[in-house]
Structure 1
Amino acid sequence: MARRETGAIGVEPVAAVSLGAIEGLAARHHLAVLGGFCCEDEVGLPAGTRSVLLLGPLEPGYWAHVKGQAEWLEYIVAGKTDPIDRWSRRVIGGMACDLGAKALFPFGGAPYHPFYQWALRTGRVWDSPVRLLVQAEQGLMVSFRGALAMKQRVEVPVAVSPCEGCARPCLAACPVGALGESGYDVPACRGYLSGPSGGDCLNFGCAVRRACPVSQGYARLAEHSAYHMGTFHT
Protein backbone atom coordinates (compact mmCIF):
# COMPACT_ATOMS: atom_id res chain seq x y z
CA MET A 1 0.00 0.00 0.00
CA ALA A 2 1.32 3.41 -0.93
CA ARG A 3 1.91 5.90 1.90
CA ARG A 4 2.48 9.63 2.04
CA GLU A 5 4.27 11.82 4.57
CA THR A 6 2.07 13.95 6.83
CA GLY A 7 4.67 15.79 8.93
CA ALA A 8 4.74 15.47 12.71
CA ILE A 9 1.91 12.96 12.86
CA GLY A 10 3.83 10.44 10.78
CA VAL A 11 2.33 8.76 7.74
CA GLU A 12 -1.19 8.20 6.53
CA PRO A 13 -2.07 5.28 4.25
CA VAL A 14 -3.29 6.08 0.74
CA ALA A 15 -5.38 3.22 -0.59
CA ALA A 16 -4.66 1.90 -4.06
CA VAL A 17 -7.35 2.62 -6.64
CA SER A 18 -7.57 1.21 -10.14
CA LEU A 19 -8.38 2.99 -13.37
CA GLY A 20 -11.22 0.50 -13.89
CA ALA A 21 -12.79 1.41 -10.56
CA ILE A 22 -12.65 5.12 -11.38
CA GLU A 23 -14.11 4.51 -14.84
CA GLY A 24 -16.94 2.52 -13.26
CA LEU A 25 -17.68 5.32 -10.79
CA ALA A 26 -17.64 7.90 -13.60
CA ALA A 27 -19.86 5.78 -15.86
CA ARG A 28 -22.67 5.94 -13.27
CA HIS A 29 -22.94 9.62 -14.21
CA HIS A 30 -22.34 9.06 -17.94
CA LEU A 31 -18.81 10.43 -17.66
CA ALA A 32 -15.65 8.92 -19.14
CA VAL A 33 -11.97 9.16 -18.27
CA LEU A 34 -10.74 10.77 -21.50
CA GLY A 35 -7.06 10.75 -20.55
CA GLY A 36 -4.67 11.31 -17.70
CA PHE A 37 -1.06 11.91 -16.72
CA CYS A 38 1.16 11.27 -13.72
CA CYS A 39 3.07 14.00 -11.91
CA GLU A 40 4.86 14.74 -8.64
CA ASP A 41 4.79 17.94 -6.56
CA GLU A 42 3.74 20.04 -9.53
CA VAL A 43 3.08 23.75 -9.18
CA GLY A 44 -0.55 24.65 -9.80
CA LEU A 45 -1.93 21.34 -8.57
CA PRO A 46 -3.17 20.44 -5.07
CA ALA A 47 -0.43 19.28 -2.71
CA GLY A 48 0.18 15.55 -2.95
CA THR A 49 -1.22 15.17 -6.48
CA ARG A 50 0.36 12.20 -8.26
CA SER A 51 -1.96 11.95 -11.25
CA VAL A 52 -4.63 13.97 -13.02
CA LEU A 53 -7.58 12.34 -14.78
CA LEU A 54 -9.68 14.33 -17.26
CA LEU A 55 -13.41 13.62 -17.35
CA GLY A 56 -15.93 14.27 -20.10
CA PRO A 57 -19.27 13.04 -21.50
CA LEU A 58 -19.77 9.31 -22.03
CA GLU A 59 -22.04 8.53 -24.95
CA PRO A 60 -24.51 7.18 -25.70
CA GLY A 61 -26.84 8.42 -23.01
CA TYR A 62 -25.01 11.41 -21.55
CA TRP A 63 -27.38 14.14 -22.73
CA ALA A 64 -30.54 12.31 -21.70
CA HIS A 65 -28.98 11.65 -18.29
CA VAL A 66 -28.03 15.28 -17.72
CA LYS A 67 -31.49 16.49 -18.75
CA GLY A 68 -32.96 14.28 -16.04
CA GLN A 69 -30.94 15.92 -13.27
CA ALA A 70 -32.10 18.54 -10.77
CA GLU A 71 -29.84 21.23 -12.25
CA TRP A 72 -31.55 20.94 -15.63
CA LEU A 73 -35.01 21.10 -14.07
CA GLU A 74 -33.97 24.27 -12.22
CA TYR A 75 -32.77 25.68 -15.54
CA ILE A 76 -36.06 24.91 -17.32
CA VAL A 77 -38.48 25.78 -14.52
CA ALA A 78 -36.72 28.52 -12.58
CA GLY A 79 -34.32 29.88 -15.19
CA LYS A 80 -31.18 29.13 -13.15
CA THR A 81 -28.15 29.50 -15.37
CA ASP A 82 -25.23 27.15 -16.09
CA PRO A 83 -27.02 23.84 -15.43
CA ILE A 84 -24.23 21.72 -16.93
CA ASP A 85 -21.52 23.45 -14.90
CA ARG A 86 -23.55 23.16 -11.70
CA TRP A 87 -24.21 19.48 -12.38
CA SER A 88 -20.51 18.93 -13.09
CA ARG A 89 -19.51 20.53 -9.80
CA ARG A 90 -21.92 18.36 -7.84
CA VAL A 91 -21.13 15.07 -9.54
CA ILE A 92 -17.37 15.37 -9.98
CA GLY A 93 -17.07 16.96 -6.55
CA GLY A 94 -18.86 13.92 -5.13
CA MET A 95 -16.55 11.57 -7.01
CA ALA A 96 -13.54 13.39 -5.63
CA CYS A 97 -14.83 12.96 -2.09
CA ASP A 98 -15.37 9.24 -2.67
CA LEU A 99 -11.84 8.84 -4.02
CA GLY A 100 -9.99 11.13 -1.61
CA ALA A 101 -9.13 13.38 -4.57
CA LYS A 102 -9.62 17.04 -5.48
CA ALA A 103 -12.04 18.17 -8.18
CA LEU A 104 -10.79 20.72 -10.72
CA PHE A 105 -12.90 22.45 -13.37
CA PRO A 106 -12.33 24.31 -16.67
CA PHE A 107 -14.92 26.96 -15.71
CA GLY A 108 -15.68 29.18 -12.73
CA GLY A 109 -13.53 32.22 -13.46
CA ALA A 110 -9.85 33.16 -13.52
CA PRO A 111 -7.32 31.88 -12.86
CA TYR A 112 -8.40 29.00 -15.09
CA HIS A 113 -6.81 25.59 -14.90
CA PRO A 114 -4.78 24.75 -18.05
CA PHE A 115 -7.04 21.97 -19.35
CA TYR A 116 -5.76 22.39 -22.91
CA GLN A 117 -2.16 21.80 -21.85
CA TRP A 118 -3.19 19.01 -19.48
CA ALA A 119 -5.03 17.26 -22.30
CA LEU A 120 -1.95 17.32 -24.52
CA ARG A 121 0.03 15.53 -21.80
CA THR A 122 -2.30 12.52 -21.73
CA GLY A 123 -1.24 10.79 -24.92
CA ARG A 124 -4.94 10.44 -25.77
CA VAL A 125 -5.66 14.02 -26.87
CA TRP A 126 -3.79 16.03 -29.52
CA ASP A 127 -3.65 19.41 -31.21
CA SER A 128 -5.65 18.91 -34.43
CA PRO A 129 -4.92 20.49 -37.84
CA VAL A 130 -7.50 23.19 -37.01
CA ARG A 131 -5.93 23.75 -33.56
CA LEU A 132 -8.91 22.31 -31.68
CA LEU A 133 -8.27 19.35 -29.41
CA VAL A 134 -8.95 15.94 -30.92
CA GLN A 135 -9.40 12.85 -28.72
CA ALA A 136 -8.84 9.19 -29.48
CA GLU A 137 -12.49 8.04 -29.25
CA GLN A 138 -14.43 11.31 -29.55
CA GLY A 139 -12.49 13.17 -32.20
CA LEU A 140 -13.18 16.91 -32.39
CA MET A 141 -16.33 16.46 -30.28
CA VAL A 142 -14.21 16.09 -27.15
CA SER A 143 -15.10 18.28 -24.18
CA PHE A 144 -14.10 18.25 -20.53
CA ARG A 145 -16.42 18.61 -17.57
CA GLY A 146 -13.69 18.47 -14.95
CA ALA A 147 -10.67 16.61 -13.63
CA LEU A 148 -9.65 14.57 -10.61
CA ALA A 149 -6.34 15.38 -8.91
CA MET A 150 -5.48 11.99 -7.41
CA LYS A 151 -3.08 11.22 -4.55
CA GLN A 152 -2.30 7.89 -6.21
CA ARG A 153 -0.53 7.18 -9.48
CA VAL A 154 -3.24 6.12 -11.92
CA GLU A 155 -1.93 5.45 -15.41
CA VAL A 156 -4.17 5.77 -18.46
CA PRO A 157 -3.03 3.96 -21.63
CA VAL A 158 -1.86 6.19 -24.47
CA ALA A 159 -3.22 5.92 -28.01
CA VAL A 160 -2.32 6.85 -31.59
CA SER A 161 -3.59 10.18 -32.88
CA PRO A 162 -6.53 9.77 -35.27
CA CYS A 163 -5.04 12.57 -37.37
CA GLU A 164 -2.25 10.25 -38.53
CA GLY A 165 -3.15 9.10 -42.03
CA CYS A 166 -6.38 11.13 -42.01
CA ALA A 167 -7.43 13.09 -45.10
CA ARG A 168 -8.12 16.01 -42.73
CA PRO A 169 -11.53 17.14 -44.00
CA CYS A 170 -11.69 19.49 -40.99
CA LEU A 171 -9.38 21.95 -42.76
CA ALA A 172 -11.96 22.77 -45.45
CA ALA A 173 -15.17 22.26 -43.46
CA CYS A 174 -15.82 25.76 -42.08
CA PRO A 175 -18.09 27.66 -44.51
CA VAL A 176 -16.39 30.98 -43.67
CA GLY A 177 -12.87 29.76 -42.97
CA ALA A 178 -13.08 30.64 -39.30
CA LEU A 179 -11.24 27.47 -38.27
CA GLY A 180 -8.03 26.44 -39.99
CA GLU A 181 -4.31 25.93 -39.59
CA SER A 182 -3.87 29.53 -38.39
CA GLY A 183 -6.32 29.08 -35.51
CA TYR A 184 -9.80 30.31 -34.66
CA ASP A 185 -11.28 33.54 -36.02
CA VAL A 186 -13.99 34.06 -33.37
CA PRO A 187 -15.55 37.23 -34.92
CA ALA A 188 -15.92 35.46 -38.28
CA CYS A 189 -17.57 32.49 -36.58
CA ARG A 190 -19.99 34.65 -34.61
CA GLY A 191 -20.82 36.69 -37.68
CA TYR A 192 -21.67 33.55 -39.64
CA LEU A 193 -23.85 32.17 -36.84
CA SER A 194 -25.80 35.45 -36.81
CA GLY A 195 -26.45 35.28 -40.54
CA PRO A 196 -29.09 33.44 -42.59
CA SER A 197 -26.88 30.40 -43.16
CA GLY A 198 -25.75 29.99 -39.57
CA GLY A 199 -28.58 27.68 -38.58
CA ASP A 200 -26.76 24.55 -39.72
CA CYS A 201 -23.96 25.01 -37.18
CA LEU A 202 -26.29 26.36 -34.51
CA ASN A 203 -28.71 23.45 -34.76
CA PHE A 204 -26.36 20.56 -35.47
CA GLY A 205 -23.00 21.66 -34.09
CA CYS A 206 -19.84 23.13 -35.59
CA ALA A 207 -19.33 21.92 -39.17
CA VAL A 208 -15.60 21.50 -38.56
CA ARG A 209 -16.15 19.24 -35.55
CA ARG A 210 -18.71 17.21 -37.49
CA ALA A 211 -16.32 16.75 -40.41
CA CYS A 212 -13.85 14.76 -38.30
CA PRO A 213 -14.17 11.04 -39.20
CA VAL A 214 -13.81 10.04 -35.54
CA SER A 215 -16.49 12.54 -34.50
CA GLN A 216 -18.84 11.01 -37.06
CA GLY A 217 -18.57 7.68 -35.29
CA TYR A 218 -19.23 9.20 -31.86
CA ALA A 219 -22.80 9.18 -30.55
CA ARG A 220 -23.10 12.84 -29.58
CA LEU A 221 -26.61 14.16 -30.15
CA ALA A 222 -27.26 17.25 -32.28
CA GLU A 223 -29.40 18.59 -29.43
CA HIS A 224 -26.37 18.47 -27.13
CA SER A 225 -24.25 20.40 -29.62
CA ALA A 226 -27.05 22.89 -30.24
CA TYR A 227 -27.25 23.73 -26.56
CA HIS A 228 -23.56 24.58 -26.34
CA MET A 229 -23.57 26.44 -29.67
CA GLY A 230 -26.46 28.50 -28.38
CA THR A 231 -24.72 29.40 -25.13
CA PHE A 232 -21.59 30.35 -27.11
CA HIS A 233 -23.57 32.51 -29.51
CA THR A 234 -25.64 34.44 -26.95
Structure 2
Amino acid sequence: MTDGGDLSQRISAALSIQGFILRGGFNFGADESAPPGSSGAPAKSVLLVGQAGSAPWPYFSRWRETQPGVPENPLDTWSRQIIGEVAREFGARAISPSDKPYLPFQQWAIRAEGLKPSPLGILMHPQYGLWHAYRGALLFGTELAIPPPEIPIHLCDLCVGKPCLNACPVGAHSASGFAHEACLSHVRGPDGTPCRDGGCLDRIACPYGTEYRYPIDVQAFHMAAFAGL
Protein backbone atom coordinates (compact mmCIF):
# COMPACT_ATOMS: atom_id res chain seq x y z
CA MET A 1 0.00 0.00 0.00
CA THR A 2 1.39 3.38 -1.05
CA ASP A 3 1.84 6.18 1.50
CA GLY A 4 -1.20 8.24 0.56
CA GLY A 5 -0.23 11.18 2.77
CA ASP A 6 3.08 11.92 1.06
CA LEU A 7 1.60 11.32 -2.39
CA SER A 8 -1.37 13.55 -1.63
CA GLN A 9 0.92 16.38 -0.53
CA ARG A 10 2.94 16.19 -3.73
CA ILE A 11 -0.17 16.00 -5.92
CA SER A 12 -1.76 18.89 -4.01
CA ALA A 13 1.31 21.02 -4.66
CA ALA A 14 1.17 20.24 -8.39
CA LEU A 15 -2.57 20.98 -8.62
CA SER A 16 -2.35 24.22 -6.64
CA ILE A 17 -0.30 25.82 -9.43
CA GLN A 18 -3.56 26.04 -11.39
CA GLY A 19 -5.90 26.65 -8.45
CA PHE A 20 -7.13 23.07 -8.03
CA ILE A 21 -7.27 21.06 -4.81
CA LEU A 22 -7.60 17.41 -3.84
CA ARG A 23 -11.10 16.55 -2.63
CA GLY A 24 -10.46 13.29 -0.78
CA GLY A 25 -10.38 9.75 -2.05
CA PHE A 26 -10.79 6.09 -1.21
CA ASN A 27 -9.75 2.56 -2.17
CA PHE A 28 -12.13 0.49 -4.25
CA GLY A 29 -13.40 -2.68 -2.62
CA ALA A 30 -12.53 -6.07 -4.07
CA ASP A 31 -16.18 -6.60 -5.05
CA GLU A 32 -16.55 -3.22 -6.79
CA SER A 33 -16.52 -2.65 -10.52
CA ALA A 34 -13.77 -0.04 -10.63
CA PRO A 35 -12.92 1.84 -13.84
CA PRO A 36 -9.59 1.00 -15.45
CA GLY A 37 -6.44 2.73 -14.28
CA SER A 38 -3.51 3.80 -16.43
CA SER A 39 -2.49 0.18 -17.11
CA GLY A 40 -5.95 -0.83 -18.28
CA ALA A 41 -6.51 -3.06 -15.23
CA PRO A 42 -9.21 -2.03 -12.74
CA ALA A 43 -8.04 0.85 -10.56
CA LYS A 44 -7.35 0.21 -6.90
CA SER A 45 -7.87 3.76 -5.63
CA VAL A 46 -9.14 7.19 -6.63
CA LEU A 47 -8.35 10.76 -5.59
CA LEU A 48 -10.89 13.44 -6.53
CA VAL A 49 -9.77 16.81 -7.91
CA GLY A 50 -11.79 19.99 -7.69
CA GLN A 51 -11.96 23.55 -6.56
CA ALA A 52 -13.02 25.73 -3.64
CA GLY A 53 -14.68 28.95 -4.72
CA SER A 54 -13.40 30.28 -8.04
CA ALA A 55 -9.69 29.73 -7.37
CA PRO A 56 -8.92 28.20 -10.81
CA TRP A 57 -10.72 30.96 -12.73
CA PRO A 58 -7.74 33.33 -13.29
CA TYR A 59 -5.63 30.45 -14.64
CA PHE A 60 -8.45 29.23 -16.87
CA SER A 61 -9.10 32.76 -18.14
CA ARG A 62 -5.47 33.25 -19.12
CA TRP A 63 -5.47 29.90 -20.94
CA ARG A 64 -8.68 30.77 -22.78
CA GLU A 65 -7.17 34.04 -24.01
CA THR A 66 -4.35 32.10 -25.68
CA GLN A 67 -6.62 29.78 -27.66
CA PRO A 68 -6.91 30.49 -31.39
CA GLY A 69 -10.60 29.57 -31.37
CA VAL A 70 -13.34 28.88 -28.86
CA PRO A 71 -13.07 25.22 -27.77
CA GLU A 72 -16.27 23.34 -27.14
CA ASN A 73 -16.80 23.14 -23.38
CA PRO A 74 -13.65 25.19 -22.68
CA LEU A 75 -13.61 24.69 -18.90
CA ASP A 76 -13.82 20.92 -19.32
CA THR A 77 -11.12 21.02 -21.99
CA TRP A 78 -8.76 23.03 -19.81
CA SER A 79 -9.49 20.96 -16.68
CA ARG A 80 -8.78 17.74 -18.57
CA GLN A 81 -5.49 19.17 -19.79
CA ILE A 82 -4.30 20.28 -16.35
CA ILE A 83 -5.46 17.19 -14.47
CA GLY A 84 -4.10 14.98 -17.25
CA GLU A 85 -0.64 16.53 -16.88
CA VAL A 86 -0.70 15.85 -13.14
CA ALA A 87 -1.89 12.29 -13.76
CA ARG A 88 1.03 11.59 -16.08
CA GLU A 89 3.48 13.03 -13.56
CA PHE A 90 2.26 10.67 -10.84
CA GLY A 91 1.50 7.56 -12.87
CA ALA A 92 -2.28 7.84 -12.70
CA ARG A 93 -5.15 7.92 -15.18
CA ALA A 94 -7.16 11.16 -15.32
CA ILE A 95 -10.94 11.07 -15.77
CA SER A 96 -13.56 13.79 -15.99
CA PRO A 97 -17.19 14.01 -14.79
CA SER A 98 -18.23 14.64 -18.40
CA ASP A 99 -16.50 11.53 -19.77
CA LYS A 100 -18.84 8.94 -21.25
CA PRO A 101 -19.97 6.51 -20.03
CA TYR A 102 -20.58 8.72 -17.02
CA LEU A 103 -18.97 7.66 -13.76
CA PRO A 104 -20.66 8.18 -10.35
CA PHE A 105 -18.70 11.29 -9.36
CA GLN A 106 -21.29 12.54 -6.88
CA GLN A 107 -21.44 9.17 -5.12
CA TRP A 108 -17.63 9.12 -5.04
CA ALA A 109 -17.58 12.63 -3.59
CA ILE A 110 -20.05 11.65 -0.87
CA ARG A 111 -17.85 8.68 -0.03
CA ALA A 112 -14.60 10.67 -0.15
CA GLU A 113 -15.68 13.72 1.86
CA GLY A 114 -18.75 12.57 3.77
CA LEU A 115 -20.94 15.30 2.27
CA LYS A 116 -24.70 15.24 1.65
CA PRO A 117 -26.76 16.91 -1.10
CA SER A 118 -28.42 20.25 -0.52
CA PRO A 119 -32.04 20.79 -1.62
CA LEU A 120 -30.56 22.03 -4.92
CA GLY A 121 -28.74 18.75 -5.46
CA ILE A 122 -25.29 20.34 -5.06
CA LEU A 123 -23.33 18.76 -2.22
CA MET A 124 -23.22 21.01 0.85
CA HIS A 125 -19.69 21.57 2.12
CA PRO A 126 -19.19 22.71 5.74
CA GLN A 127 -16.73 25.43 4.68
CA TYR A 128 -17.43 26.21 1.02
CA GLY A 129 -21.21 25.92 1.16
CA LEU A 130 -22.46 25.40 -2.41
CA TRP A 131 -19.47 27.17 -3.96
CA HIS A 132 -17.21 24.30 -4.93
CA ALA A 133 -16.93 21.73 -7.70
CA TYR A 134 -15.33 18.46 -8.73
CA ARG A 135 -13.37 18.75 -11.98
CA GLY A 136 -11.86 15.31 -12.33
CA ALA A 137 -10.22 12.38 -10.60
CA LEU A 138 -6.98 10.43 -10.57
CA LEU A 139 -7.15 6.65 -10.76
CA PHE A 140 -4.25 4.61 -9.37
CA GLY A 141 -3.28 1.00 -9.88
CA THR A 142 -2.27 0.57 -6.22
CA GLU A 143 -4.10 1.03 -2.96
CA LEU A 144 -3.32 4.24 -1.08
CA ALA A 145 -3.25 4.82 2.67
CA ILE A 146 -6.25 7.18 2.68
CA PRO A 147 -7.86 7.97 6.04
CA PRO A 148 -11.66 7.90 6.12
CA PRO A 149 -13.30 11.34 6.07
CA GLU A 150 -14.57 13.04 9.18
CA ILE A 151 -18.31 13.26 8.68
CA PRO A 152 -19.20 16.99 8.83
CA ILE A 153 -22.36 18.56 10.15
CA HIS A 154 -24.86 18.84 7.31
CA LEU A 155 -25.58 22.56 7.32
CA CYS A 156 -28.87 22.14 5.47
CA ASP A 157 -30.25 20.37 8.54
CA LEU A 158 -29.59 23.55 10.55
CA CYS A 159 -31.04 25.93 7.98
CA VAL A 160 -34.36 27.51 8.91
CA GLY A 161 -36.67 28.55 6.11
CA LYS A 162 -34.61 27.01 3.29
CA PRO A 163 -34.11 30.26 1.32
CA CYS A 164 -32.61 28.21 -1.52
CA LEU A 165 -36.12 26.94 -2.27
CA ASN A 166 -37.77 30.35 -2.32
CA ALA A 167 -35.67 32.70 -4.45
CA CYS A 168 -36.32 31.34 -7.95
CA PRO A 169 -39.13 33.22 -9.75
CA VAL A 170 -40.36 30.02 -11.40
CA GLY A 171 -39.88 27.73 -8.39
CA ALA A 172 -37.35 25.55 -10.21
CA HIS A 173 -36.22 23.82 -7.01
CA SER A 174 -38.66 22.21 -4.62
CA ALA A 175 -39.01 19.21 -2.37
CA SER A 176 -40.16 17.24 -5.41
CA GLY A 177 -36.96 17.91 -7.34
CA PHE A 178 -35.57 20.18 -10.05
CA ALA A 179 -37.90 21.50 -12.76
CA HIS A 180 -35.26 21.52 -15.48
CA GLU A 181 -37.44 22.67 -18.36
CA ALA A 182 -39.06 25.48 -16.35
CA CYS A 183 -35.62 26.72 -15.28
CA LEU A 184 -34.19 26.51 -18.78
CA SER A 185 -37.15 28.30 -20.35
CA HIS A 186 -36.93 31.09 -17.79
CA VAL A 187 -33.17 31.57 -18.13
CA ARG A 188 -33.45 31.74 -21.92
CA GLY A 189 -36.48 34.03 -21.85
CA PRO A 190 -36.93 37.81 -21.54
CA ASP A 191 -37.32 37.67 -17.74
CA GLY A 192 -34.19 35.59 -17.21
CA THR A 193 -31.67 38.43 -17.38
CA PRO A 194 -30.89 38.41 -13.61
CA CYS A 195 -30.15 34.69 -13.79
CA ARG A 196 -28.15 34.92 -17.02
CA ASP A 197 -26.06 37.83 -15.76
CA GLY A 198 -25.70 36.92 -12.09
CA GLY A 199 -26.27 33.20 -11.62
CA CYS A 200 -28.88 30.95 -10.05
CA LEU A 201 -30.90 32.96 -7.53
CA ASP A 202 -31.65 29.90 -5.42
CA ARG A 203 -27.95 29.09 -5.11
CA ILE A 204 -27.10 32.69 -4.27
CA ALA A 205 -29.76 32.68 -1.54
CA CYS A 206 -27.90 29.99 0.45
CA PRO A 207 -26.45 31.63 3.59
CA TYR A 208 -23.43 29.32 3.86
CA GLY A 209 -19.96 29.69 2.38
CA THR A 210 -20.72 33.15 1.02
CA GLU A 211 -17.04 34.14 1.11
CA TYR A 212 -16.45 31.47 -1.57
CA ARG A 213 -19.33 32.60 -3.78
CA TYR A 214 -18.33 32.76 -7.45
CA PRO A 215 -17.88 36.27 -8.88
CA ILE A 216 -20.57 37.53 -11.24
CA ASP A 217 -18.60 36.79 -14.42
CA VAL A 218 -17.97 33.21 -13.31
CA GLN A 219 -21.64 32.66 -12.52
CA ALA A 220 -22.65 34.15 -15.87
CA PHE A 221 -20.24 31.77 -17.63
CA HIS A 222 -21.73 28.72 -15.94
CA MET A 223 -25.29 29.88 -16.56
CA ALA A 224 -24.55 30.41 -20.26
CA ALA A 225 -23.09 26.91 -20.44
CA PHE A 226 -26.20 25.47 -18.74
CA ALA A 227 -28.59 27.33 -21.05
CA GLY A 228 -26.58 26.74 -24.21
CA LEU A 229 -26.26 30.46 -24.88
- TM bin, normalised by shorter chain, reads 0.7 to 0.9
Following superposition, the deviation at residue 142 of structure 1 comes to 2.6
Following superposition, the deviation at residue 68 of structure 1 comes to 0.9
1:188-231, Cα deviation, whole Å (9 max, x unpaired)? 00111122321111111111111122242214222111111101
Residue type of the alignment partner of 1:22: I
Taking a change above 3 Å as real, the CA distance of residues 160 and 25 of structure 1, as seen in their structure-2 partners, is: farther
Q: Does 1:78 align with 2:69?
A: yes
Please name the residue that 1:165 is paired with.
158
Aligned residue runs from structure 1 range 169-184, under 5 A: 169-184=163-178
- Asked if the contact 2:53–2:132 (Cα under 8 Å) also holds between the matched residues in 1, the reply is no
Residue type of the alignment partner of 2:87: A
The one of 95, 118, 125 aligned to 1:128: 118
Secondary structure of 1:33 counterpart = strand
Percent identity reads: 33
1:159-195, Cα deviation, whole Å (9 max, x unpaired)? 3222231223212222211112211111100111122
Please name the residue that 1:8 is paired with.
none
The one of 182, 185, 188 aligned to 1:191: 185
Following superposition, the deviation at residue 34 of structure 1 comes to 2.6
Please name the residue that 1:5 is paired with.
none
The one of 133, 146, 150 aligned to 1:143: 133
CA distance in 2, matches of 1:186, 1:204: 18
Q: Does 1:154 align with 2:138?
A: no
- Asked if the contact 1:209–1:215 (Cα under 8 Å) also holds between the matched residues in 2, the reply is no
Higher relative contact order (CA 8 A, sep 6+): 2
Taking a change above 3 Å as real, the CA distance of residues 58 and 233 of structure 1, as seen in their structure-2 partners, is: same
Please name the residue that 2:14 is paired with.
25
Please name the residue that 2:103 is paired with.
113
Taking a change above 3 Å as real, the CA distance of residues 15 and 114 of structure 1, as seen in their structure-2 partners, is: same
Instruction: Give unmatched runs, 5+ long, in structure 1.
Output: 3-13
TM-score, normalised to structure 2, is 0.84
Residue type of the alignment partner of 1:191: S
Report the number of matched residues.
218
CA distance in 2, matches of 1:85, 1:119: 18
Residue type of the alignment partner of 2:149: P
What's the C-alpha RMSD, in Å, of the aligned pairs?
Answer: 2.2
Instruction: Give unmatched runs, 5+ long, in structure 2.
Output: none
